[in-house]
Amino acid sequence: MPRLPRSLAAALALGTAAVLVTGCSQEGAPVTFDTPKSTSSARGGNAKGSAGNGDGRGPETVLPTGPKATFTTANTLEDGTRIGVTTLAGAKSGFTGKVWVWAPKQYFDPKYADSGFPVLVALPGGNGYPMNYWMGTDLKLQSSINAWSQEGKSLPFIVVMPVLNPDDTFYYDGSDIPGQPKMGTWLAEDVPDFVRANFRTFASRDGWAFMGSSSGGFAGLKAVLQRPDRFKAVIASGPDTVPDSPLWAGHEAERQANNPEKLAKALGAKPDTERNRVYLAFQIGTEESGMGRLKSFMRSYTKGPVKTRLQVIQGGGHNAKSYVRGMGDGSIAWISRQMQGPVASP
C-alpha cells in the first residue's frame, strides 16, 4: 500500500485534535528532570530487578552523562508531571529536530534515585513533523501509563517523543535513505544518546523499547529488528511491514537492508537465546485494513528468537486513541513483562 496516500488518510483519521497542545498555565516555563538524592547509598544496579537481564545479575543503571539539555514545558498532566520539549542537534545523523519527554512520578521518588528507568520511544503516524502528536494530553498516553503502572500492568516508562520525519512532504521510513537526512540514525542513535545524557537509564537493551502508530509503527518495528542488541521490544500499531518511501528510488539494496520482512527472516534464523530475542507486539483495529498483512507477517517470521503477539482492537480504527486502548487491553503488559523495571533502594 503506498505510504503517502495511506499516511495522509491516517493523519485525517487521527484527527487534528491529536496534534493540539492542551493549554496550561505553565506552558513554555522551564522544566527540569533533576531528581532528589537517594535515601540509600546502594546503587540500583546492585539489586535484582523485576525482569533482570537473564544472567542472574541485577540491572546496570547508567546515570546521566550530560551534556544537560534545556527543557521547557509543553504540557502538564493532572498528577503534576510535565512533558518537556527541547531541540536536539543530532551529533551522528546531523539532523536537528524537536524531542518531547515525559518522566513518570516514580522517577522523582527518592527510593528510586539510584535506579535506571525503562525508555519507550513513542513515534507518531502521519507526517510526524513538526509535531509528535503523542506529546499532547488528549490521547492520554502518559496518563494511561501512569495509571497502568499503578495497577501493575505497565512499567513506569520514560516516554520520549522525537519528530519522525525532517519535513512534512515525504516519508523517510525511519531510515538512512542515501542523499537524505539520516532519520534512521536520528531515531536509533541520536535520540537514545540524548536520553542517556539526561536521564537515569539501563545499560542493557532490557530497558529500551519503541511504540508507534502507522508509519511510526513501521519505524519502531524496523529499528528493533535492525538493532536487537540495543532494543528489545516494540508496540507496532497499524504498521506497514515493508519500506515504501518514494525516496528509495534507485537504492534498492539499501531499501532491502531496511525491510522488516528481510530483517525478521534473518533474525529468526539465529539461535533462540535471551540475547537474540525480540518481542513484537502488533496492534490493529477491526475497522481498519491490514489485518491479513500482519497475520501473514506473523506466520512467516515468528520463529526462533522473534516473538510476536497480536492485539485485535474491537471496533478500533486506524487512529491513536484506538491504539492506546489496545495497549491497555494487553500490549503494554506483554512488553513490560519482557523488560526491566526500576529497582528501589534497600
pLDDT in tens, 281-296: 999 999 999 999 999 9
Please tell me the predicted confidence (pLDDT) of residue 37.
Answer: 66
pLDDT exceeds 50 at position 21: no
Nearest to 132 by CA among 199, 186, 68: 186
Please tell me the predicted confidence (pLDDT) of residue 18.
Answer: 41
How does DSSP classify residue 288?
S
Identify which of 23-27, 50-54, 56-60, 218-222 has the greatest average pLDDT.
218-222
Q: How far apart are CA 20 and CA 134, in angstroms?
A: 10
Q: How far apart are CA 105 and CA 76, in angstroms?
A: 12
Greater confidence (330 vs 15) lies with: 330
pLDDT exceeds 60 at position 50: no
Q: How far apart are CA 64 and CA 49, in angstroms?
A: 20
pLDDT exceeds 60 at position 2: no
Calculate the average pLDDT of the chain: 89
pLDDT exceeds 60 at position 11: no
pLDDT exceeds 80 at position 43: no
pLDDT digits (tens, 9 = 90+) for 65-118: 999 999 999 999 999 999 999 999 999 999 999 999 999 999 999 999 999 999
Half-sphere exposure in the Cβ direction for 221 (13 Å, CA): 35
Mean pLDDT score, 158-181: 97
pLDDT exceeds 60 at position 13: no
How does DSSP classify residue 37?
P
Please tell me the predicted confidence (pLDDT) of residue 25.
Answer: 55
Place of cell 534515585: 113
Place of cell 505497565: 154
pLDDT exceeds 60 at position 213: yes
Q: How far apart are CA 17 and CA 282, in angstroms?
A: 25
Q: How far apart are CA 123 and CA 131, in angstroms?
A: 10
Please tell me the predicted confidence (pLDDT) of residue 7.
Answer: 39
Cβ proximity of 343 and 47 under 8 Å: yes
pLDDT exceeds 60 at position 54: no
Cβ proximity of 256 and 289 under 8 Å: no
Strand segments, DSSP code E, in the chain are: 30-31, 61-62, 71-76, 82-89, 96-102, 119-123, 158-162, 201-202, 208-213, 233-237, 278-285, 306-313
pLDDT band at 58 (very low <50, low <70, confident <90, very high): low
CB burial class (10 A; 0-12, 13-18, 19+) of residue 170?
Answer: middle
Min mean pLDDT across 55-69, 168-182, 220-234, 302-316 is at 55-69
